[in-house]
């Protein structure tokens, strides 16, 4: 008597799933090795909040400073300054 292996059981179950229902199965199997945070960020809805004129101006100013070679503030320095506040 042949005892089915786990792989054979899985293959039989997969063969019974209609093609129209395979996408979630494929996504689940593909995600098994992924970082959960990366996965959740990927699945998060796109930002739909309007960007204000002030925010857009701040982004543009930062881009211009980077292009001009203005020294950036290291993250560790920012953390220190915020923790001292």
Question: Is 47 part of any domain?
Answer: no
Q: Which domain holds residue 60?
A: 54-84
- Residue at 13 is within a domain: no
Q: Longest Cα pair distance anywhere in the chain, in angstroms?
A: 76
Domain-located, residue 66: yes
Give just the sign of the alpha carbon dihedral 34, 38, 41, 42. negative
In a domain, 67, yes or no: yes
Q: Tens of pLDDT along the chain (85 residues)?
A: 889 999 999 999 999 999 999 999 988 888 777 788 887 888 888 888 899 999 999 999 999 999 999 999 999 999 999 998 6
How many structural domains are present in the chain?
A: 1
Sign of the dihedral defined by the CA atoms of residues 75, 81, 83, 85, in that order: negative
Say if 42 falls within a structural domain: no
Claim: this prediction has a pTM higher than 0.75: no
């Amino acid at each position: 008597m042949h005892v089915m292996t786990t792989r054979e059981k899985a293959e039989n179950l997969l063969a019974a799933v209609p093609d129209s229902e395979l996408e979630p199965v494929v996504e689940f199997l593909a995600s098994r090795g992924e970082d959960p945070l990366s996965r959740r960020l990927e699945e998060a809805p796109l930002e739909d909040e309007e960007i204000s004129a002030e925010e857009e101006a701040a982004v543009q100013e930062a881009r211009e400073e980077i292009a001009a070679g203005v020294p950036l503030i290291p993250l560790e320095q920012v953390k220190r300054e915020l923790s001292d506040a």
